[in-house]
Structure 1
Amino acid sequence: MMDRKAIHVLFLYGFYIGLVHASHQYYYVADPKTWTEAQTYCREKYIDLATISNDTEKKRFLDWAQNIKGSAWIGLYRDLPGWRWSAGSSDYRDWTTDGVSTSMVPEEYVAIVYKQWENHAYTHAHNFICYDERLNACHGFVLISQDKKWRDAQSYCREKHTDLATVKDAIENEKIKEIAASYTWIGLHRLGWQWSDGSNFSPTFSFSKTPTASGSKRLCVVLIRSSPAENIEWEALNCTVKKPFVCYGEVKKKTVQIHRIRFHSDVNVNNAAAQEAILDQIKKKLQEKGLPADAKLSWRKQSDGQIFHEKKDKKRENKKKKRNSRDEF
């Protein structure tokens, strides 16, 4: 009688995939502090001052803040004045006004509008003036009659010329104004509003009052609610004022999925090392199909404490029975 190597059909009852989703949990702190003190407290006790990065988080925050009365710091701030040139340095300015916009924008840029300097938001598209160090005419300034956003204009000037124009004195300013179109970017820009935890900022709300610098080097944002019946408003203040504040932490939610598979094996899969190796291979295959790197996989035992159950191969069993019958005959 020939020896045959046993091939077992094993039924893998199931393995867990644990997916962890983190969301913000907000915490109101009534003890008044300056914005910097509040930032330090939140970083020590939680994660940071409250961040509201998108419309979904904004809705969650507003629902949570229904019972807040008065004002409280959140994690939004901007440094002042903060203006710098795309290339080189110059202290020359020719402002009509250098106020802080009522809109919350992540960056501001300077355009010459009908021969006046104005700060515009990142969403605008204008003609622009490049500087080319190879040119002698017009102080090296070149008008590009294409409407582009400031960052795209900067990339164009760096690729085709030297950079966006820097204005060093009144003489260069007059030359710039001579060649500028009605709306024209130059190289002056500054960072706008930023979150304390470094999250990307996208505008989701506006100020109820026009912010004023009042000689301070930084402005910070508070939520204001005079009574529970009124809507929340946002205002930028000197960061040294003491206010209550809102921190955020993370709440982790676990989602468990159970998967079943069936496979053939000629090894002892009840061995712990074999089970770990199989699970590792499954995880690698699932990650190739998009499984998050932090997902946890584990075996699921059945009521009898076993992971695997052998499933009989009916065709093989039938063939064996027929062969035995012939042998007996």
Structure 2
Amino acid sequence: MKTTLTVLLIIQLYGLASCAIKQHYFIDQKKTWYDAQQYCRTNYHDLSTFIDEIEEQQFLQEAVSQTSNAWIGLNKSSGTWKWATGEVTTQISWDTAYDQPNDDDCGLLYKSTKKMHDAECRSVFFFICMNVSEFVMVQQSESWEGALEYCRHHHDDLASLSSSRSMTDALSKITGAQTQYVWIGLRFLAGGWFWISGDDLILNVWSSAGPPQCPAQNQRCAALDKNTQTWTPRDCEEKLNLMCVIQ
């Protein structure tokens, strides 16, 4: 089972400053730290990291679904604590009530206190993986299907705005759109609206009180309205700019 924790972060990724979104997944399999990292790097981006106080607080605010102590992307090399993505740590919220840290080399998030503990890397715990993504505003007009094809060919997918933080990032990019409405990865099919990424449709930023329950046949694709900053159903054949995601 994966529990999605979505966090908007200003990060430095591969040496390039960019506005990106970290999406975190609680993995209910028990592994050593190194096996957990290998799993995350194979199936996601890496073990989860939050490299400054802002990132940490944003992560912890949404870590309420964590069901057990869990490895994160923090370990000690040659006496120095580093993040799995390579950054040397500048601040760690150790669980001092439990006399942390001790003398071990890998870090985990303690469920009850939401503070950091160290543990032997060969110990087995559940763990939290992350994906990293960035939105791209495309000033090219396509139908919804054309937008989907374009994003999947040139980037990764149409953008899914499944959290308030991803909405904030999208709104910062949409100012460059040449059309009032911009295609996003939200579609009505088989009686319901869904994100093509598979994310849960929890956030409600519809232009009406909620998602249209039975939209007209030609109003079954959703776009982000640059003026009202809401989602609105549009004709899937309408030619609009599009918001892609790079993962």
User: Is the helix fraction higher in 1 or 2?
Assistant: 1
Per the normalisation by structure 1, the TM-score is 0.35
Per the normalisation by structure 2, the TM-score is 0.45
Q: Highest Rg: 1 or 2? A: 1
